[in-house]
Amino acid sequence: MNEHQKHTEFLRECLLYADNSQHQQLDKGIIQIQRDARCVWRMVWLMAMLTALAGVGLGYGVILVDNFPYSTQPFIINLICTLGVGSLICLVFLVGLGIVYRLRLDQRREECRQLVTRLLESRLGKPVTPPSKTMRAAHFDEQHGRTSRLANEVGNSSARIESAVQG
């Protein structure tokens, strides 16, 4: 299970704490999209195997059969080529469809995050900013100040170098 799937399962588990029908519909939608995406990626694998099989069939004929195009029946060559091109076209289409399903799942996950956030806020109240975050912000401001001072110094020194070169 990769990180994307772990995060999705965690969000689905968080939805179980709500007894709202919207949460249940969102959970069912996520399950359906995941099922459809798995089906599409299995088909991608199948089409990739068929494309490779057609490539191997043509490669075998070209490399190992003497006088290949003339010694075999044109029907077999046409069948192998049709299989390869058809599975390649399906492969491209299915990869695009898999990407669409992934984008839909990401959209549902974002809706799920928003609902879980609202659920937590309704049960626990507004989040309190931890002190470590304010310390990180102060450190960032300190670093940003150093960066801007350094940029000003570099800018001034480059102007001096340019004037010395021209002068």
Alpha-carbon distances of 51 from 2, 57, 97, rounded to whole Å: 27, 10, 18
Q: Which residues contact 105 (CB under 8 A, 6 or more apart)?
A: 8, 30, 33, 34, 37
What average pLDDT score do residues 37-61 get?
93
Write down the pTM of the prediction.
Answer: 0.66
Task: Give the closest residue to 43 by CA, choosing from 1, 101, 4, 107.
Answer: 101
**92 vs 109: CA distance, rounded Å:** 26
> What is the tens place of the pLDDT at every residue in 26-41?
889 999 999 999 999 9
What average pLDDT score do residues 52-76 get?
80
Q: Where are the domains of the chain?
A: 3-127, 130-167
Distance of CA 163 to the CA centre of its chain: 50
Find where tokens 């089409």 sit. Answer: 47
| H-helix segments, the chain | 3-15, 21-64, 68-71, 74-124, 131-166
What confidence tier does 148 reach under pLDDT thresholds 50, 70, 90? very low
> What is the tens place of the pLDDT at every residue in 72-127?
778 888 898 999 999 999 999 999 999 999 999 999 999 989 988 888 888 888 77
pLDDT at 156: 52
